[in-house]
Structure 1
């Protein structure tokens, strides 16, 4: 199954409709003929630029922010623990929440030359969809901390060296994804599911879901801070000027 974010005019930013679409795609993977899920974005410029601030700027209090953050965190935990292989096909830039979606997938393929980064720190917030907790499970502590705390965009090549990206490609992202996962799909679905459950059990024993919920709460508190509110206002005013 292929799930494509089709908001190229917004650099494939996440709004509530995209959330619902991803949740529906995850549910449909339970169909017996689905052996893997690939996620990508439309166009050549962006995989996903994170949460759409033009939509989420209306969230002012930590309670309002917590509703949105926990909703997406729940979806990403469902994605993380799907009992089939999942692949993020980074066809373009991935920013903030876009990297959190990629982190929740089992494998990350990136087109050569793109950039990606957990830039939430520059917005005076943290990862709020579970990305930080997921990175703590999938990368070494120094590498994960560096990505999160520097909050900078890096090239796909740098991210491969750091261990976040698994493979680089040229050309079609779907062809790259099919080539990467082809040998896996040659095996019986029950084999793929049995192996995936090895990691799911590990994450359950590590209380990853509870840690993600705590991450969401901390981000919600920062969301209503004056620093973050000012960042959002500056971002939206800049977009308005550019549009004018």
Structure 2
């Protein structure tokens, strides 16, 4: 029986990884999503806005500038709604996450944090945001965090949910959780280890280090430092940077992202099987046939 379970487990993991809308936690884990949603609805303020362009690049904007784009309860709910919308955007290829008014995000709105003071409240919020951000990381879209201004606490965690991080010259990423007497709880610590390694992550978290663009670039937290700190110009730079990686048919870009997710999260045998299945969705397709017809011009 044990051997049978071991053999079937990887294929189950594949289904879990690519089933749209699947959550990490449910009632089996003591997580009651509808109850959490009712609680979060009690903390209004700000919005999460999504603009989808015909180019296949979306812009997700955290909009609560009076509080440095801190997440209110309603914004957390709206983030989940936008993630669901992106899951169903079949023409999409990439998404940029940014904050309004040249600031990324300062994390959670303290009004909500103060009201949700029990360990049970903290665990429920943790599971809700881990569900949301894990679904975001698994989107078949190449994602970029555009860090303008400061990304603090939960805002820093959100940057780790993106495939890449671009920073403007005067920006900063800082995991301030230790100074608040807590640890990252939206999946930020686990993803940070994956991005920069365990030793560097321990320094960043343990020291609540301020990562300016140069420092972030040197440890692998940032992928590039943009030239402009101007809000509009930096968005344009980020769009141009992302465009080089999403140039191509949506079905190909989305399959590429799915295959990378598989390689990152699954056992090797299962990832290879999934790569084979994804190939079957594009081999002999329009993009493939057009490339062959060009007779190798893609090599130039």
Q: TM-score range by the shorter chain?
A: 0.7 to 0.9
Post-superposition CA distance 1:25-66 (Å, at most 9, x none): 21222222221111100112x200011112221112111111
Do the aligned residues in 1 keep the contact of 2:116 with 2:122 (CA within 8 Å)? yes
In structure 1, the residue matched to 2:45 is none
Q: Structure 1 residue 38 and structure 2 residue 96: aligned?
A: yes
Q: After the TM superposition, which residues 135-174 of structure 1 pair with which residues of structure 2 at under 5 Å, given as runs?
A: 135-169=192-226, 170=228, 171=230, 172-174=233-235
In the alignment of these two chains, the number of paired residues is 205
Which residue of the other structure, out of 175, 197, 204, is the alignment partner of 2:265? 204
In structure 1, the residue matched to 2:150 is 93
Q: 2:101 is paired with a residue of what secondary structure?
A: coil
In structure 2, the residue matched to 1:124 is 181
- Deviation, 1:165, is 0.8
- Deviation, 1:188, is 1.5
- Deviation, 1:83, is 1.2
4+ long deviations beyond 3 Å:
none
TM-score (norm 2): 0.65
Do the aligned residues in 1 keep the contact of 2:93 with 2:140 (CA within 8 Å)? no
Do the aligned residues in 2 keep the contact of 1:5 with 1:41 (CA within 8 Å)? yes
**Over the residues paired in the alignment, what is the CA RMSD in angstroms?**
1.4
Distance 1:184 1:199 in 2: 14
Do the aligned residues in 2 keep the contact of 1:139 with 1:163 (CA within 8 Å)? yes
Distance 2:164 2:249 in 1: 19
Q: Structure 1 residue 10 and structure 2 residue 67: aligned?
A: yes
TM-score (norm 1): 0.80
Do the aligned residues in 2 keep the contact of 1:115 with 1:155 (CA within 8 Å)? yes
The farther-off stretch of 78-87 and 29-38 is 29-38
Q: CA 1:202 to 1:145, structure 2 compared with 1: closer, same or farther past 3 Å?
A: farther
- Deviation, 1:140, is 2.0
- Deviation, 1:144, is 1.7
Q: Structure 1 residue 78 and structure 2 residue 139: aligned?
A: no
In structure 2, the residue matched to 1:179 is 240
Unaligned runs of 5+ in 1: 207-244
Q: Please identify the structure whose Cα radius of gyration is greater.
A: 2
Do the aligned residues in 1 keep the contact of 2:104 with 2:151 (CA within 8 Å)? yes
In structure 2, the residue matched to 1:26 is 83
Q: 1:88 is paired with a residue of what secondary structure?
A: strand
Distance 1:4 1:188 in 2: 25
- Deviation, 1:138, is 2.1
Q: 2:134 is paired with a residue of what secondary structure?
A: helix
Unaligned runs of 5+ in 2: 1-57, 268-300
Distance 2:192 2:243 in 1: 26
Q: CA 1:184 to 1:203, structure 2 compared with 1: closer, same or farther past 3 Å?
A: closer
In structure 2, the residue matched to 1:191 is 252
